Structure 1
C-alpha cells in the first residue's frame, strides 16, 4: 500500500529533541500501526500511542480519534525523545493496517450542454468523481423534449467504458440543422446501468439555440438623469430583416454601476415584433436626484429568442449626471504695491575675479532653472500641453530662481521648425509663432517679472541630448553657421538686459580641450563684437589628459590653456556636474565617499572660481534625490557652491558663491526628474529645501495677488475652467496680464491663481483689477469674479 512518511525535528537541545511525523496514504484506513527503527527512547507522544520500544524498534498505533483515515488522507503525530544531538533520524518505516476499508466506487455524472443548431452536434461530457482501479461502464440514451428525435436530433443509444484511471468521456449526439425559425429547444441524455460505479447526476439537458430567422441586435443608450422625477432610458432593438411571423425575445435589466431602486426601476418582460416590424424600443425608467456623482450604467440583456437569432444580446445604458458643483472666486488679499528691483541682478552683468557682478558692481549669484524642449523636435519648451507658459515662469520666480537657461537647437534658429506639443487653448498667444518668436515672448515676460535668460546652444539638429559626435558642429550645421547663428542672436537681443549671456555649446565631450577652447574664443569674440553686454559661458569637455569626468564637466585643461576673450570681464566657465543615479562614476564607490567629492569638484572646475581666475556657473546639476549617494552628493556640492570648499561647515571663500542652473524645471527628464512633479503643476519641495542654502535672497521679490478658486463640492470627474485678468482702475501697467486654465482633479476643491504686480514709484492711490472665470467644463460658475486691491506705498512729497 503506497504511503509517504516525512520526519522532521522542530527543536533539538542535545540531550533531547521534538520529532514530527507526517504520513500520507492513498487508501482509506480503519485503524493502523506504525513501526520504525530508532536510536532514541520516546518519553512523551501525541497523535498516537506507544505499543513497544525494544532493541531499537519502535511500534506505535493510532489514537482513538484518528483511527479512521479517508483515502488521500493524512496522519500527523509528534513526540519528545532522548537523547538528541547526533542520534540518527528514524528509518525502515512500516505501516500495518488491521482493517482496510474497501475503495469507494466512483460516482458517474453527466453535464448539460448548450450549442447553436448549426454546430451539428451536442457533446455531453460524462465524468467519474475519482479514478477507479477497474473498468467502469455506463449506458446512455437520448430522450425527446421540445426538440424531437429525427426532426431536431438523431436518437442515440449505447454505452461508454472508462478504463482504470480514466475519469472523463464524451458522448456526441448529432443535431439536425434546418432553416426553420423555431426558437430554443431542448432534449436530454439519460444514464443507466452503471457497472463498477454508482450513478450521480444521471440526466443532462442539451439546449439547442436556434440560429434561423432574422438577427436581433440591441444598441447602447443614454439619458440625462435630471434632478427629480423620472427620465426615460430608451434602448432600440432591431431585426436585420422583417419576418413573416412574430418574433419574440425576452429582456431584463441588471445593475452596472447604477443600482436598481436607487438609480433606476428594474424591468423585465418579452418584446414582440409583429410581422413586418424591424424596430422596437424598451424603456427603462431612471430616477432623478441632486447627488453629484459620476455617470452610471444599467445593463439590458436579451435572451430566449423565438423565430429570431440573438446577434447582440447585451447593451449598456448610461445615466448622465447633470448635477455639477459650482465655482466660486474669492477676492485676493490686499497687497502693497512695492518698488522696482530686488532680485540681485541689476542691469548689465560683467565679471570681476571670481564674481559675477551687476551694473552697480555688487556680486550677484545666478540661480537658474533649465527649461528644456526648444532643442527637441517640439521646437518649444515642454509643458505647454498642460500649462500656460507665463504661469510657469511666474512660478519659477515665486520659488526664488532668478534666471532660466533656455536650451535650443541650431535648427530651431536657422530653419524655424513648427512648434508643437502646445495646447493653444492654454497658450493662445503662441499660436502661429516660430521658435525664435517664442523665445522673444519668453524674454519679454522674463523682463517683466525680474527673471534673466541664458541662451544655450544645446545641439545642432533638433533632437534630444548633445550632438552625437560630441562637437559644436554636426552635419550641415558647420562651425561657420554656428558662429553666424550666435552673431544673429547677439544682434537680436542687443540692448536688452534680460538676456544675460550665451552658453556657446552644450557638452562638447568629443573634443579635446585645446580645440574646443580655440572654437569658443572665435565664437565668443564674434558675439561680443555684436553685443558687448553679454556674458560668454564656456563649458568643459569630457576628458583631459586621460581623466574622464562628466560631459561638459572637465575644465582641468583651462589651468594651462585658459579661454582668452577680447573682453576678459565677460568670461564665465560653465561645467556640468551630476550624481550617482545619472551614472555610477567610480568615485561614488570609493572608500572615502562622500568626503572625496569637494576635492574632485575643485580639481575639475572649482579651482577656476576659488583661485579667482574667473566666475563659474554650473550649467547643469540635478537629481531625483532618492538615491542616498545622490543625497550625499547634493550636500557636498551645495556646500561647495556656497563657498564651503571642504564641506566642514565653514565658508572658506567669501562672496556670492558659485552660480548654477538646476536641471531641470521639467519633470520629463528621465535622469533627474524636475522641480515640478509629473502633473506639471505640483512642486517637489524636497528639492527646493535642498537648494535653499544657495537660492538668492528674494525678500524683495515681486509681489503677487493670489486668488482662490473653489468648488462647492468635489467633482467626480476633472473640472476645468478658464481664467483671465481684467482691468479695473488698475491696468496692465500695474500687474502682469495673464490667462490660463485651472484643472481640478476628482476630489480637489481648491486652486490658486497668482498674478504678479508691477511695482513702481508713482503716487496713484489704491487701485483694483479682477480675475474672471470663463468656459467651465464639469461645473457651473456661481461667482466668476475676484477682486484684487493694490495699496499704493508712494506718497507725494
Structure 2
C-alpha cells in the first residue's frame, strides 16, 4: 500500500486494486513511549486492546505514536509500574518496541493508521534541535532507519513525523547546525530508502528567519507562536523533497497551554482566523501542500482557562471553512497536564463535549469524501 499527496490531499494506493483513494486522518495522540515509562500510558488502568477498540468506536482512524530514542532500542524494557499485567497479561516480558509493534499490528487489524513521531531524543524533555549532547545527528538518522526497517511492513503505518517541535531550529538560513529544512532534506531520504511508501511529516519551528517572521501581519505577535506552529518560511523555502511525499504538520494551541497576547485582543476569537492562516493555513490553501494538524487541544473548560472552549470551537470552525480535514488531537491520554485528554481521569469515560466538537469536523469531512 502506498501513500502519496495529490492536490493537497493524502491518497492511499491500494496494492490489490491499484486504485487511489483520498483518506482523511481523524487522529489522536497516545503518548508514553517518549517518556521514561517507555510505553503508552494508561495501561495501568486499561487493557491495551480495549483502548484501541474504543478509539476506533469513536470514529478516530489514526494514532500519532510519540517515541524517544531509547524506547525503540532493542532490549529496552518498559517501566513495570506503567503496566498492570493482570489486565495486560500478553505484554508480560515484552520489550518496549515489541509492545509498540503489537499496538501497530492490532491497529492494522482495526483499520487504524499509525504516524510514528520522534518526539524526544532523550526521554525527559523536548530538546531544541534534532540532535543533542546525548544523541548525535547520525544516531538520530540511524534510529529512524532502524524504526523504518521494523515498521515498513505494516500497511497502516502512514509515515514519519521527523522531529517533534524543533523549537531551537531556524528555517531557510542555510546554517547546517540549525536549519530545519536542511535537516529534513538530509534525514527523510534515508527513511524513504527503507520505506518509500511512507509520507514525511514536517513540523513548523518557533522562529524561522527575522526577515520572514518580522513581516508578519501582526508584527507585535511575530514571535508569539507555539512550538511547531511556524510554517511561514515554507512560502520562500519549501522542503526540497518530492511534492507527493511531503506533509506539513503544525502544532497550535489555545489559552490553556500558554496565554498569548492575542487571546486578550478585544476581537478574540475572530482574530484567530488570520493568525492561523498566516502561520500555516496558507500552506494548503495557497501553496497546495498537504496539511495535517499534528497537535491541538486543551481542557475545554474542565479546569484551565474558560476561553479554551471558545478557541477550540473556533479552530474547528476554521478547519471546516478551509476544508482542512486531517488532525491528531492532543491527547487521548487523561494525564496530559495542560490539556487533559479525550479520556477522563478514570481512563475509561470520555469528555463528551470535547469529542462532539471534533465530531463536527469528522462528520463534515466524511460527507465530502
Tell me whether the two structures share a fold, i.e. TM-score over 0.5.
yes
| 1:563 matches 2:242 | no
Partner-residue secondary structure (3-state), 1:666: coil
The answer to whether 1:693 aligns with 2:369 is: no
Q: Is the 8 A contact 1:540 1:574 kept in 2?
A: yes
| Counterpart-to-counterpart distance in 2, 1:575 and 1:528 | 21
Work out whether residues 555 and 575 of structure 1, in 8 Å CA contact, stay in contact via their aligned partners in 2.
yes
Alignment partners' CA distance in 1, 2:312 and 2:364: 20
> Following TM superposition, by how much is the alpha carbon of 1:349 offset from its aligned partner in structure 2, in angstroms?
2.1
1:504 paired to 2:168:
no
Deviations 1:568-608 (A, max 9, x none): 20100011000011100011111221111011111111101
* Corresponding position of 1:375: 34
Check if 1:406 corresponds to 2:71.
Answer: no
What is residue 431 of structure 1 aligned with on the other side? 92
Which one has more relative contact order, counting CA pairs under 8 Å at least 6 apart?
2
1:3-402 counterparts in 2 under 5 A?
A: 347-359=1-13, 360-402=19-61
CA distance in 2, matches of 1:350, 1:612: 17
Aligned to 1:304: none
**Superposition TM-score, scaled by structure 1 size:** 0.41
Partners in 2 of 1:402 and 1:503 — Cα distance?
17
Q: Aligned pair 1:628/2:306, yes or no?
A: yes
State whether residues 459 and 466 of structure 1, in contact with CA within 8 Å, keep that contact through their aligned partners in structure 2.
Answer: yes
1:640 CA drift (Å): 2.0
- Determine the structure 2 residue equivalent to 1:550: 226
What pairs with 1:518-529 in structure 2 (closer than 5 Å)?
518-529=182-193
Indicate the residue corresponding to 2:263 in structure 1. 588
Question: Which residue of structure 1 lines up, in the alignment, with residue 277 of structure 2?
Answer: 602
What SS does structure 2 have at the residue aligned with 1:369?
A: strand
- 1:530 pairs with 187, 190, 194, which one? 194
For the 8 Å contact 1:411–1:462, the answer to whether it is kept is yes
| Cα distance, 1:415 vs structure 2 | 5.9
Structure having the higher Rg: 1
What is residue 478 of structure 1 aligned with on the other side? Answer: 136
Q: Do the aligned partners of 2:294 and 2:329 also contact (CA within 8 Å) in 1?
A: yes
Note if contact 1:408-1:458 (Cα within 8 Å) is conserved in structure 2.
yes
Distance in 2 between residues matched to 1:531 and 1:697, nearest whole Å: 32
Kept after mapping to 1: 8 A contact 2:8/2:288: yes
Q: Which has the higher helix share?
A: 2
Structure 2, unpaired ranges of 5+: 14-18, 173-178, 214-221
**Contact preservation (8 Å) 1:615, 1:658:** no
Counterparts of 1:639 and 1:364 in 2: how far apart (Å)?
20
* Rounded Cα–Cα distance in structure 1 between residues aligned with 2:49 and 2:70: 25
Match of 1:516 in 2: 180
Instruction: Determine helix, strand or coil for the equivalent of 1:637.
Output: helix
Listed one character per residue, the Cα deviations across residues 35-56 of structure 1 (whole Å, up to 9, x for unaligned) are xxxxxxxxxxxxxxxxxxxxxx
Distance in 2 separating the partners of 1:607 and 1:636: 17
Runs of at least 5 residues in structure 1 that lack an aligned partner in the other structure: 1-346, 646-652, 700-797
Kindly indicate whether the alpha-carbon contact (under 8 Å) linking 1:456 and 1:502 is maintained by their aligned counterparts in 2: yes
- For residues 575 and 484 of structure 1, the distance between their equivalents in structure 2, rounded to whole angstroms, comes to 25
The answer for the alignment partner of 1:778 in structure 2 is none
Query: Taking structure 1 as reference, are residues 416 and 516 closer, same or farther at Cα in structure 2, changes over 3 Å only?
Result: farther
Q: What is the rounded CA distance, in whole Å, between the counterparts of 1:559 and 1:693 in structure 2? A: 30
SS of 1:442's partner is helix
Quick one: distance in 2 between partners of 1:524 and 1:481?
14
Question: Which residue number corresponds to residue 250 of structure 2?
Answer: 575
Query: Residue 390 of structure 1: CA displacement?
Result: 0.5
| 3-state SS of 2:289 partner | coil
Output one character per residue of 1:460-486: Cα deviation in whole Å (capped at 9) or x when no partner: 1122x412xx11111231111111111
Q: SS of the residue aligned with 1:536?
A: strand
Aligned to 1:490: 148
Q: C-alpha displacement at 1:411, in angstroms?
A: 1.6
Measured against aligned partners, the alpha-carbon deviations of 1:399-438 in whole angstroms (never above 9, x if no partner) come to 1100100000012123643202101111111111111111
* Distance (Å, rounded) in 2 between the aligned partners of 1:698 and 1:520: 30
* Equivalent residue, structure 1, for 2:176: none
Once the 2 structures are TM-superposed, how far is the Cα of residue 697 of structure 1 from its aligned partner? 8.0
SS in 2 for 1:418: coil
- Residue 621 of structure 1 and its aligned partner are, at CA, apart by 0.3
CA distance in 1, matches of 2:84, 2:130: 33
Say which structure is richer in strand.
1
Q: Give, in angstroms, the shift of residue 443 of structure 1.
A: 0.8
- Structure 1 segments of 4+ aligned residues over 3 angstroms from their partners: 696-699
Question: Structure 2-normalised TM-score?
Answer: 0.88
**Please, which of 639, 659, 664 is the counterpart of residue 317 of structure 2?**
639
Map 1:643-658 to 2 at 5 A: 644-645=321-322, 657-658=324-325
Q: CA deviation at 1:632?
A: 1.8
Q: Is the contact made by 1:353 and 1:612 (CA closer than 8 Å) also made in structure 2?
A: no
Contact 1:400 1:696 in 2 (8 A): no
Contact 1:641–1:659 at 8 Å: present in 2 too? no
Distance 1:523 1:696, change over 3 A: farther
**Equivalent residue, structure 1, for 2:219:** none
- 1:683 has 2:342 as partner: no
Q: Is the 8 A contact 2:228 2:251 kept in 1?
A: yes
Determine if contact 1:365/1:696 at 8 Å carries over to the other structure: no
Report how far residue 633 of structure 1 moved. Answer: 1.3
Q: How many corresponding residue pairs?
A: 338
